[in-house]
Structure 1
Amino acid sequence: MIFIGSVGMVISGFILDRTKAFLLLIKIENFMCVVSAILFTLSINSSNTWSLWTTSAFLGYFLSSFGNTGSQIAAELTYPISESYSTSVIMTAQMAFSMIHIAIMRQIMKHMSVLGSNIYFTLVLFVGYVLICKLNQLQVSSLINRCKRFVGFRHSPRRNETNCSRKNGTLIKPFVKIRRLHRCFINKQLTTITIYKRLNQCYFI
């Protein structure tokens, strides 16, 4: 499980670098975590050792790649806060979260059964999948609020022309550019970090 998980982290990082499809990839990985956990629960009492090894490998692969992608999305959502700071906080929370649920699963195994602890683990992953599906709305609202704060900070009545960009000699207001960048974000053409960097270039591209 650990070896396959290491391979999964490398592969997910390569896919993220190529596609930039953060939300789509983390939803797929989380969904496959739920499916792998269900298969692992069904095969844990099986006499077939190969099925247990296979489901364990799938579970390790998707759990590790899911954590890697989650760290990248955390850096996206918390930009311009330092990536090292946000990632370290996320990793600390992940470790604390893991220890709490391991303790809960141990008590379930002690007082109920191994099957009960695996069912609990699967339910936790499913709840995480439901929350991940709402992440797009959170990311969009975070981007909009950031754009509004940026415009409020940079806009000056005495420098209206410098705070607007030009197209064919005509001034373009900042909020028009924000809407264009927002559409690019919705269409997954730009990431949050890319948009925020463009916001810091005079006025938007």
Structure 2
Amino acid sequence: MTINEKIVLQTEKPAIRVYGKRWLILIIYIAYATLSTLQWVEYSIITNVVSKYYHVSASAVDWTAMSFSIMWPILVFPASFIIDKMGLRVAGLIGAFTTALGAVIKIFSIGENLFGVLLAGQIVVAASQIFILSLPPKIAVTWFKPEEVSKVCSLGIFGMTLGSAMGFLIPPMIVHDSDNLDDIAYDLKTMCWGLAFIIAPVALTVVFYFPAEPPHPPSQTMFEERENRKNVTTKVFVESIKTLLQNKAFMLHTLCYGCIVAIFSSIGTLLNQFILSYFPGAQEDAGRMGLVMILTGMVGSVITGFVLDKTHKYKETAFIIFLLSAVAIVGFALALELNSKWMVYLAIGIFGFFVTAYMPAGIEFATEITFPFPESTVTGILMASSQMLTVIITVILGIVIDKFGTLFCLLFMAGVLLVGTVLTLLTPNILNRQAAFMKEKYCQFTPIKQ
């Protein structure tokens, strides 16, 4: 082999290949993400029944949902290091099995004095989500072509929102309000056993078929990320976190993302109380309204993915969605004040469409700003900030509801969204990842002349 031939080989691109089984990997992820997020509002959507059975306050029941927010800032950095260092398979195994473990623990929570066991099960499931909800952008870049990344990220978020939809729909259908606590206990037992039974085969699927990565990367950019992962150490990871936290554009966007996700999570936690304050006895309506919010949001998130892949207008899309979300929540408040159920269904559907559509746009914009930092770490920081804000805002809203009522609570939410809208407008429009993809697409590798 001549010197020129050696130089040519050294400057050629690595083997790039896209595998058909990438869609199966995505489906498996969607399945176990769905079963994890289903458990977020599993109890808060039936707050009145749970409160009656366990003899605890509505605020105590709120913590079954807020525990998911508490766990994020505690575990986000250790989880991000594990994902960055060990890859998708390890994250998938931890996420699937801790989800299953939490569901099993809740089987043993049936008893009027066992609310602590229920809360422990929720906390274990909450821990699983740190290894689950950070993965859509990671799966997208690990398995899919650059032009598929945004839509795949939105489909991954589809799994989260599908689980939330089921969490709003299923518990009110299974667990009914009754003055006979034995009847409530039977319904709760049915729900817990059913969930554990469904989760078990999904967890086993992750064991037998959820590889860390394909044999060959789908892009030159992903090849380089693989090489960088080999050098991930605790010191390197800590330095990367420091760099991210010093990135002003990213931190401003993180605050915006946290605002909108916190409002969405607060609505999910408090929806039962909102609806019953205007429509007494409408527990099942509250569940169905939550379902409508999530279903329209699923449509919105998928549409956003396709729009972003076509336009790459991340900041512009995020700004428009933020503004329309603020308008929609004012419409929701107005519909409640008019005491019109059909208007409430319509308003919360519109709100769900926009607020959930923001999530893929927000994650993708963060990835653009911070590229080439690992997607799972970036998403983890986004989620941690949003969950911390969720706890703060939900506690404040609980106080506002008690003292001033639902209307002021919703107006406060609209104010938070308007602040986020302004901050989004002020965020620098940085597209580092798109620049890398364009360089990969147009850069020609030529041998060096002797």
TM category (shorter chain) comes to: 0.5 to 0.7
Distance apart, 1:196 and its partner CA: 4.4
Following TM superposition, by how much is the alpha carbon of 1:47 offset from its aligned partner in structure 2, in angstroms?
2.5
Q: Is the 8 A contact 2:368 2:434 kept in 1?
A: no
- For 1:138-177, what aligned pairs fall within 5 Å after superposition? 138-140=428-430
| Contact kept in structure 1, 2:368 and 2:432, CA below 8 Å | yes
Q: TM-score, normalised by structure 1?
A: 0.68
Alignment gaps of 5+ in structure 1: 141-190
- The counterpart of 1:193, out of the listed 400, 417, 433, is 433
Give the match for residue 125 of structure 1. 417
Counterparts of 1:37 and 1:5, CA distance in 2: 14
Q: Does 1:24 align with 2:319?
A: no
Q: Distance in 1 between matches of 2:303 and 2:429?
A: 24
Question: Could you say which residue in structure 2 is the equivalent of 1:3?
Answer: 295
TM-score (normalizing by structure 2): 0.32
Following the alignment from structure 2 to structure 1, what is the Cα–Cα distance between the partners of residues 342 and 323? 23
* Aligned-residue offset at 1:194: 2.6
1:9–1:65 CA contact under 8 A, matched in 2: yes
- Structure 2 distance, partners of 1:123, 1:47, is 23
Q: What residue identity is the alignment partner of 2:415?
A: L
Deviation at 1:99, TM superposition (A): 2.1
Residue in structure 2 matched with residue 60 of structure 1 by the alignment: 352
Displacement, 1:37? 1.1
- 1:27 deviates by 1.0
Letter in 2 for 1:44: L
Residues 8 and 64 in structure 1, CA contact (< 8 A), matched pair in contact too: yes
Q: Which letter does structure 2 place at the counterpart of 1:195?
A: A
Please tell me whether the aligned partners of residues 326 and 417 of structure 2 are also in contact (alpha carbons under 8 angstroms). yes
Q: Find the residue that maps to 1:81 and give its secondary structure.
A: coil
Q: Please state whether the residue corresponding to 1:80 is helix, strand or coil.
A: coil
Would the aligned equivalents of 1:33 and 1:63 in 2 still touch at CA under 8 Å? yes
In 1, Cα distance between the equivalents of 2:390 and 2:356? 13
Q: Identity, % of aligned pairs? A: 25
Q: Cα deviations across residues 50-92 of structure 1 (Å, max 9, x unaligned)?
A: 1111010011111111122111111111111011210121112
Tell me the residue number matched to 2:387: 95
Distance apart, 1:11 and its partner CA: 1.2
Contact 2:325 2:351 in 1 (8 A): yes
Q: What's the offset of the Cα at 1:21? A: 1.1
| 1:37 and 2:329 correspond | yes
The structure 2 residue matched to 1:72, chosen from 364, 371, 374, is 364
Match of 1:85 in 2: 377
Gapped regions of structure 2 (runs ≥ 5)? 1-292, 445-450
| Residue 49 (structure 1) aligned to one of 311, 334, 341 | 341
Task: Give secondary structure in 1 for the equivalent of 2:338.
Answer: coil
Amino acid at match of 2:317: L
SS of the residue corresponding to residue 298 of structure 2 reads helix
Q: Give 2:400's aligned residue.
A: 108
Tell me, yes or no, if the aligned pair for 1:41 and 1:115 is still in contact at 8 Å: yes
Q: Secondary structure at the match of 1:50?
A: helix
Q: Which amino acid aligns with 2:335?
A: S
Question: For 2:434 and 2:319, how far apart are their aligned partners in 1?
Answer: 22
* Cα pair 1:5 1:61 within 8 Å, conserved: yes
Q: Is the 8 A contact 1:46 1:52 kept in 2?
A: no
Match of 1:182 in 2: none
Q: For 1:44, what is the secondary structure of its paired residue?
A: helix
Aligned pairs, how many? 149
Is the contact between residue 315 and residue 429 of structure 2 (CA under 8 Å) also seen in structure 1?
no
Per mean C-alpha deviation after superposition, the further-off stretch among 121-130 and 74-83 is: 74-83
1:9 Cα deviation after fit = 1.2
**AA at the equivalent of 2:435:** I
CA contact (8 A) 2:370 2:432 kept: no
Deviations 1:175-199 (A, max 9, x none): xxxxxxxxxxxxxxxx321324639
Question: Is the 1:43–1:52 Cα contact (8 Å) retained in structure 2?
Answer: yes
Alignment partners' CA distance in 1, 2:298 and 2:392: 24
